[in-house]
């Protein structure tokens, strides 16, 4: 690391941070909450990637982390500021998730009941990431509704919606890959 570059700036010591574009906002601003949650999601996806999983999925998760980081940057950008070009999300990114969901579902038994998270560490981590993804999606929806000029806001929401579905199916795949038991929820009525 460059010795001239320090991780601490001291500019946030009074509870504010800068958006991409320089605008200062409180650290509890809904834009910060949204992209901060995606940062949490990205960390959990990294933890999934660190498990003993197949190489193809590991490579795919790295691509997904890149796309989540792209979504973070889009949410972190002040749409009212003059910005340098940022990376974007495309329809192909969403289609990739859909194709991977479909391919995994072909190998899995039909889902006939709700399932309880657990059964294998990799599967459980997928469920945690799925829940964080859903929270990120909800926060992003609120942000886009309140600030409709959010860069690619609708595309971010769509990507997160599909990603949470992907993480659910991946959790099931990891159970079956590891000969673990899928526990169905049996409501006590």
Answer yes or no: is pLDDT of 187 > 70: yes
Enter the tokens of residue 46: 């990294």
88 SS3 class: coil
Answer yes or no: is pLDDT of 1 > 60: no
Average pLDDT over residues 4-29: 80
Domain 22-106+117-184 top-level CATH class: mainly alpha
* Cα–Cα nearest to 44, from 141, 164, 143: 164
Residues 6+ apart with CB under 8 A from 10: none
* Cα–Cα nearest to 28, from 14, 15, 37, 10: 15
Which of 84-88, 126-130, 183-187: highest mean pLDDT?
126-130
Predicted confidence at residue 30, as pLDDT, reads: 95
Instruction: Specify whether the CB–CB gap between 182 and 175 falls below 8 A.
Output: yes
Residue 125: other Cβ atoms inside 10 A? 22
Average pLDDT over residues 28-40: 96
Comparing 18 with 122, the larger pLDDT belongs to 122
Predicted confidence at residue 2, as pLDDT, reads: 67
Average pLDDT over residues 25-40: 94
50 SS3 class: coil
pLDDT tens string 88-140:
999 999 999 999 999 999 999 999 899 999 999 999 999 999 999 999 999 99
Average pLDDT over residues 156-165: 98
Answer yes or no: is pLDDT of 157 > 60: yes
pLDDT tens string 116-127:
999 999 999 999
Distance, in Å, from the CA atom of 115 to the CA atom of 35, rounded to the nearest integer, reads: 29
């Amino acid at each position: 690391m460059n010795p001239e570059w320090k991780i601490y700036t001291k500019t946030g010591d009074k509870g504010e941070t800068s958006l991409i574009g320089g605008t200062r906002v409180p650290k509890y601003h809904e834009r910060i909450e949204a992209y901060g949650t995606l940062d949490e999601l990205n960390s959990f996806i990294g933890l999934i990637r660190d498990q003993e999983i197949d190489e193809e999925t590991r490579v795919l998760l790295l691509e997904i982390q890149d796309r989540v980081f792209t979504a973070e940057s889009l949410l972190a950008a002040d749409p009212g500021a003059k910005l340098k070009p940022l990376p974007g999300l495309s329809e192909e990114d969403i289609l990739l998730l859909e194709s991977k969901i479909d391919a995994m579902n072909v190998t899995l038994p039909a889902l006939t009941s709700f399932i309880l998270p657990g059964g294998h560490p990799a599967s459980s981590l997928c469920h945690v990431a799925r829940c964080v993804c859903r929270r990120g999606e909800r926060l992003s929806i609120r942000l886009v509704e309140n600030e409709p000029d959010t860069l690619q806001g609708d595309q971010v929401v769509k990507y997160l919606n599909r990603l949470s579905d992907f993480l659910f199916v991946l959790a099931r795949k990891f159970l079956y890959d590891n000969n673990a038991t899928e526990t169905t929820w049996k409501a006590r009525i």
